[in-house]
Structures are given as C-alpha cells and as structure tokens.
Amino acid sequence: MRAALKSLGVADASDETLSSLLGAPLPKVFRALSPEISEPRIAAGIAAYRSAYDAGGIHMNALYPGVVEMLDAIAVSGAMSWIVTSKPQHYAVAVAQNLGIGGYVQGIVGAGLDEKDTKTTLVATALRDAKVKAGEALMVGDRSYDVVGALENGVMPVGALWGDGSYDELHDAGCEQFAQSPAEFQEKFVGTR
C-alpha cells in the first residue's frame, strides 16, 4: 500500500489508518485517503500496488491461528467453504495456494482487475456458483463490506472478531452473530446449519 501511495504522491498514512482500510477495494482506499483522486491516478495507484505485491507482497500474507483447524472442521462436517474477496480473482487463488488452504475450499470468488465489484455482487456469484440458497449459507467476515454483502443477499453474516474490523464496525453494518476466534466459530456454527 505504501508503494501505491508513494507513486500517487499521497502523504504517508499511519499504520492505524491503513489498517482501518484493509479489505476495501483499492479504488475505495485511494478515495478515502485522497477524495479528489481521478480515475487515471487510481489506475496508476493500482498498478504500483500490484507491482509491489507481485514482487513479494503476495508472500507476506499469513493465516490467523486456528483457521486451518476451522476449515478442516467445516470439511469434516460435510459443509463447503468458499473464499469471497474484493482481492482480484487471480491473486485470491494464488494467496490461498501460498497459504496451503486451497484444498479446503470448493471455490474462490474474487473481484475483476478493476476492483469495482462490490461484495454484494461477489457473494451473489458465490451463491450461484456453489448452487447454495442464501438461507443455507453463512458469511464469515471481518469488515463492514462482508456484512453488507451478506445481508444484501439474504445470507447471515458472522463477525470474525479475530480479524481487522471491530465489533462496532460489524454491528453498525447489521451483524448480530459474532465469534472471537476460529475455534469459537467452529464451536458455535460448524455442523449447526
């Protein structure tokens, strides 16, 4: 992100500010940091971000403790796991493989390269591709975008309080179910739907 901001001449943002923007599509991040930014500058920022990401950033991702065990429990229960992300599709697939979780998921739905897809459209795509009814699915997410995307598709969101978002952010977006950790999610929700 800092490489993108530097290329755009945007003043360096604090770790706290950048953390609050994690999970949002890059155009929204750039607009939050520079409200008057033009479409060509957004494209330039995305190019700079991707250059740094391709050069090594993609390998800096890490799983939260307990995620593999949670995914394994979901698989054992006979349920499916899908990744639905605002990250471009090909990066999402690569990250899942790099983290060793590709075998735990039945599908990955990511954004297009312009990152203009909303979480609402991405969740709808996942439901369609998985051939799952909204009432049979849960959306586990840590940002307001996840909650909104779930609710707008009739899917129950579960706030992942181990992630980057806060209880207040998730609750304010309409989330009513929460888990403090992957283990708590597993205890509360795996095998119950």
Position 192 scores a pLDDT of 52
Q: Does one domain contain both 100 and 139?
A: yes
Specify whether 52 is located in the same domain as 143.
no
Are residue 100 and residue 125 in the same domain, yes or no? yes
User: What pLDDT, on a 0 to 100 scale, did the predictor assign at position 26?
Assistant: 87
Write down the pLDDT at residue 193.
46
Contact 74, 81 (CB under 8 A): yes
> Residue written as tokens 């954004």?
111
Of 60, 77, 104, the one marking the end of a domain is 60
Q: What is the enclosing helix (H) or strand (E) of 3? A: helix 2-8
Full residue range of the structural domain in which residue 44 is found: 2-60
Q: Which residues of the chain have pLDDT under 50?
A: 193
pTM value > 0.75? yes
| 48 and 74 fall within a common domain | no
Q: DSSP code of 144? A: H
Domain total in the chain: 2
For helices 119-130 and 144-151, give the axis angle rounded to 10 degrees.
Answer: 50
27 and 107 belong to one structural domain? no
Domain stops at, among 60, 85, 108: 60
Quote the tokens at residue 97. Answer: 């493989």
In angstroms, rounded to a whole number, what is the distance separating the alpha carbons of residues 162 and 70? Answer: 13
Place of tokens 């429990």: 73
Give the tens place of pLDDT for each residue, 112-158.
888 789 999 999 999 999 999 999 999 999 999 999 999 999 999 99
150: left (phi over 0), alpha (psi -120 to 50) or beta: alpha
